[in-house]
Amino acid sequence: MASTSSLHLSQALLARAVYLHGSSSDRVSLSFPSFSGLKSHSPCKAAATSSRRRGACASTSVVRAAAVETLDQTTEVSLVEKSVNTIRFLAIDAVEKANSGHPGLPMGCAPMGHILYDEVMRYNPKNPTWFNRDRFILSAGHGCMLQYALLHLAGYDSVLEEDLKEFRQWGSRTPGHPENFETVGIEVTTGPLGQGIANAVGLALAEKHLAARFNKPDNEIVDHYTYVILGDGCQMEGISNEACSLAGHWGLGKLIALYDDNHISIDGDTEIAFTENVDQRFEALGWHVIWVKNGNTGYDEIRAAIKEAKAVKDKPTMIKVTTTIGFGSPNKANSYSVHGSALGTKEVDATRKNLGWPYEPFHVPEDVKKHWSRHTPEGAKLEAEWNAKFAEYEKKYSEEAAELKAIITGELPAGWEKALPTYTPESPADATRNLSQQNLNALVKVLPGLLGGSADLASSNMTLLKSYGDFQKNTPEERNVRFGVREHGMGAICNGIALHSPGFIPYCATFFVFTDYMRAAIRISALCEAGVIYVMTHDSIGLGEDGPTHQPIEHLASFRAMPNTLMLRPADGNETAGSYKVAVVNRKRPSILALSRQKLTQLPGTSIEGVEKGGYIISDNSSGNKPDVILIGTGSELEIAAAAAEDLRKEGKAVRVVSFVSWELFDEQSDEYKESVLPASVTVRVSIEAGSTFGWQKIVGSQGKAIGIDRFGASAPAGKIYKEFGITKEAVIAAAKELS
């Protein structure tokens, strides 16, 4: 396993950090002697109303004294405190300037933030995407000024002083929540609570998988940790329980979550809605749990906890770090008022006095700057060492190196698309969920980063990779992931996998209707540009007897309306292959494949190339781009449109049949192409789709007719429901005639 050497390396780094701390000068703290300790006007005063806070505060001085005694490094501690206060005031000042934002978390979490970025984590600020970096996720994304301050101190070019001053402004690189597509150095987009911790599970899964697949006894080329800071809000969300249950099950030993236990959420003390025993819950989930009682100033406690967490290799660790939200603010600390609003000039001044901070807004003291400056050369060195290691690896294990490289760079192997299966009208009728499985099993042979699974429906979604076993605690090199009945966690974990390395192509599956359970994660895929493939089967009333709770109606429309999302509904084998081609190529947006439970005919005229255009003609007996009628179908209803066309043609009509597999892709075509498929002059248009007609007016026009379902489904055999709901060839023919 990789963990042994990684621990040595990180311990060495820790030791070096301590050494550097000891040797650094401390000019400013000397000229402000009161700085190294809390002033008598302690922020704990504000906490006195909460009995639980009182305990934490009471222990503060004791713990600090003990730390000082042990390490005998008073200068050192004062520089750490100065750095921590720099972080606090960068956050305070930026929120103040924007008059918008969340100062409370950065003020409370600055100590753990400092220790992570300054003492623990391995990264290269000048190449933030260096593959083997430790990953950090701020799951409590509203506290993003913490991370911006840390990136700034650590030397990331993406967050310069002017960026901090532009916090939450139009076009800035410091938006109101962490956005990986806006700020280099941010791993994933967080903010909606609970997503980040689930993303982190995905990142840690990715590391464990790659390490097991590629590491050699003499060369552990994959070896990093994933750190998370999450808050009370993340803990309350169901998604975090789902993801953390899986993390425990998988034994993700290199996942270390720091829980900012500050007992305050927007509505006030968490006592009003959150009195569960979080430690015990995490133990039940199979985590190692540590409690840092003084997260405000107990630096050694935090260090010791992280060290302990790293030593536990078979379990993820949750470090509960009890902190005071808005630490340092004499009148607002430990209250909801510091959570999500600027402190206000008066309280900013009071906080400056209270923490002994004489500087102008946005000032980073020279010794703090100097102290942090070492991360640039150190990061370069870390990467150079790793590059040398990789060169060794490549020499000795060329095949594996090539595969790993493909995952690191995201470059698709030349000719990969030749693996896609092809079909003819003579190929046997089949459900698109089965055809999907043929594609997955063909693609996994050529795409080293393809892996995934289902939320306990593998045998219904048809997602098993037959040549692989299960990704499990002791078989992490395998590629079938078993998510259990945890759709939301599954989606967010896949986002984490996708954003770990560009060559990962995670897929996940459930019934299409249960996208409702994971919609927030799918939206994050779209927003943060994670090319996750959502394999969504049982995509209509065609699933039959399970009834309306299981039958999607509005889901196609709801995803067509979602930005940066590809909603694909293939009709047969060729279209399923085309959908996979599109999904694999589109690494910066998610693809949702709506697939049938029921068998579908292989249709003449369907093609991979057609799918790539989103909408295309599969058959036509008209000439001069002037059909009498255009029939439009998607997925399982395309064969109904085709059958209706045959009948109408027998009656002498010039009928065009258009497959509308992806609205988004069609929208992206040229006006000429669009006109060639849907000429403006032809108003007799009938669409058929076993789902909501919402939105179809755009395609069929004011004079066309959309056949669909604008009510909930029913429990009965599929054929019966189709008939009763009028999703039939006869209905298409009748509509075409009525409009003609």
Tokens of 622: 């008209």
Total interface residues for a copy of itself by CB under 8 A: 112
| Minimum distance, C-beta of residue 5 to a copy of itself, in the bound complex (Å) | 28
Nearer to a copy of itself by Cβ, of 231 and 379: the residue is 231
- Residue 339 labelled as part of a binding site: yes
The residue (of 489 and 627) whose beta carbon lies closer to a copy of itself is 489
**For a copy of itself, what does the binding mask look like between residues 316 and 355, x meaning CB under 8 A?**
--------------------x-------------------
DSSP H helix total and E strand total for the chain: 30, 21
Binding segment for a copy of itself (CB under 8 A), chosen from 83-91, 119-127, 172-180, 634-642, is: 172-180
CB of 441 to a copy of itself, least distance (A): 18
Sign of the torsion angle spanned by Cα atoms 393, 395, 401, 406: positive
Residue 235 CA to residue 257 CA, distance in Å, equals: 11
Rounded to an integer, what distance in angstroms lies between the CA atom of residue 357 and that of residue 642?
75
Q: Is 558 annotated as a binding residue?
A: no
Options 224, 433, 550, 656; binder of a copy of itself; rule CB under 8 A? 550
Query: Does 180 interact with a copy of itself (rule: CB under 8 A)?
Result: no
Cβ–Cβ under 8 Å, residues 713 and 721? yes
Q: Is 139 in the site for a copy of itself (CB under 8 A)?
A: no
- Tell me: does residue 162 bind a copy of itself (CB under 8 A): no
Binders in 372-431 for a copy of itself, by CB under 8 A: none
Task: Please enumerate in sequence order all residues whose Cβ is within 8 A of that of 418, keeping only pairs 6 or more positions apart, or say none.
Answer: none
Residue with smaller CB distance to a copy of itself, 3 or 454: 454
553-592 residues in contact with a copy of itself (CB under 8 A) are 553-554, 557-558, 560-564
Q: In the set 93, 118, 134, 242, which binds a copy of itself (CB under 8 A)?
A: 242
Q: What is the token pair recorded at 87?
A: 């972080």
102 is in an annotated binding site: yes
For this structure, is 487 an active site residue? yes
Judged by CB under 8 A, does residue 711 bind a copy of itself?
A: yes
Q: Which of 37, 344, 410, 484 binds a copy of itself (CB under 8 A)?
A: 484
Under rule CB under 8 A, residue 101 binds a copy of itself: yes
Give the 3-state DSSP-derived string for 265-315, with helices as H, strands as E and coil as C: ECCEEHHHCCCCCHHHHHHHCCCEEEEECCCCCCHHHHHHHHHHHHHCCCC
Q: Which of 31, 51, 171, 418 binds a copy of itself (CB under 8 A)?
A: 171
> Exactly one of 470, 477, 612, 647 binds a copy of itself (CB under 8 A); which one?
470
Residue 19 binding a copy of itself, by CB under 8 A: no
β-sheet bridge partners, residue 436 = none
Token representation of residue 273: 């809605």
Per the residue annotation, which of 220, 242, 347, 487 is the catalytic one? 487
675 near a copy of itself (CB under 8 A):
no
Of 24, 61, 75, 100, the one binding a copy of itself (CB under 8 A) is 100
Partners of residue 255 on adjacent β-strands: 226
* 532 sits near a copy of itself (criterion: CB under 8 A): no
- List of residues 6+ apart from 486 with CB closer than 8 A: 242, 243, 245, 246, 455
Task: Tally Cβ neighbours within 10 Å of residue 535.
Answer: 30
CA torsion sign, 31 to 36 to 40 to 41? Answer: positive
For residue 597, say whether it is annotated as part of any ligand binding site: yes
Is residue 456 part of the contact set for a copy of itself (CB under 8 A)? Answer: yes
440-456 b/e (C-beta count within 10 Å ≥ 16 → b): bbbbbebbbbbbbbbbb
The span from the CA of 725 to the CA of 463, in Å, is 30
Shortest separation between residue 315's beta carbon and a copy of itself, angstroms: 12
Tell me how far, at minimum, the Cβ of 88 lies from a copy of itself, in Å: 20
Enter the DSSP assignment of 412. Answer: P
Smallest distance from a copy of itself to CB 677, Å: 16
Residue whose entry in the numeric block shows the structure tokens 């660790």 = 317
Residue 233 assigned ligand-binding role: yes
Query: Among residue numbers 259 through 318, which ones bind a copy of itself (CB under 8 A)?
Result: 265-267, 270, 272-281, 283-286
Select from 201, 204, 223 the least CA-distant residue to 139.
201
Q: How far is the CB of 340 from a copy of itself (least distance, A)?
A: 8
Cα separations (Å) of 615 from 568, 675, 685?
A: 11, 11, 14
Distance in angstroms (rounded) separating the CA atoms of residues 278 and 230: 13
Which element (helix H / strand E) includes 179?
A: none
Among 161, 710, 730, 738, which residue sits at the site for a copy of itself (rule: CB under 8 A)? Answer: 710
Six token digits for residue 186:
């941010």
Q: Which of 22, 425, 548, 604 contacts a copy of itself by CB under 8 A?
A: 548
Our finding on whether 546 is near a copy of itself (CB under 8 A) is: yes
Distance CA 446, CA 406 (A): 11
Q: Which three-class secondary structure string do you get for 622-666?
A: CCCCCCCEEEEECHHHHHHHHHHHHHHHHCCCCEEEEECCCHHHH
Cβ(679)–Cβ(651) below 8 Å: no
Output the smallest distance, CB 522 to a copy of itself, in A. 8
Residues 487-506 that bind a copy of itself (CB under 8 A): 487-489
User: How far is residue 32's CA from residue 622's CA, in Å, rounded to a whole number?
Assistant: 87
**How far is Cα of residue 699 from the mean position of the Cα atoms in its chain?**
33
Q: Which among 35, 33, 28, 54 is positioned nearest to 43, based on CA atoms?
A: 54
The whole-angstrom separation of Cα 320 and Cα 511 is 36
In this complex, which beta carbon is closest to a copy of itself, that of residue 272 or of residue 414? 272
Shortest Å distance, C-beta 121 to a copy of itself: 24
The answer to whether 430 is a known ligand-binding residue is: no
Closer of 152 and 488 to a copy of itself (Cβ) = 488
Out of 377, 697, 730, 740, which residue is the one contacting a copy of itself (CB under 8 A)? 697
Which segments are annotated as binding site?
102, 142, 191-193, 232-233, 262, 264, 339, 433, 460, 514, 538, 546, 550, 597
Question: What residues act catalytically?
Answer: 487
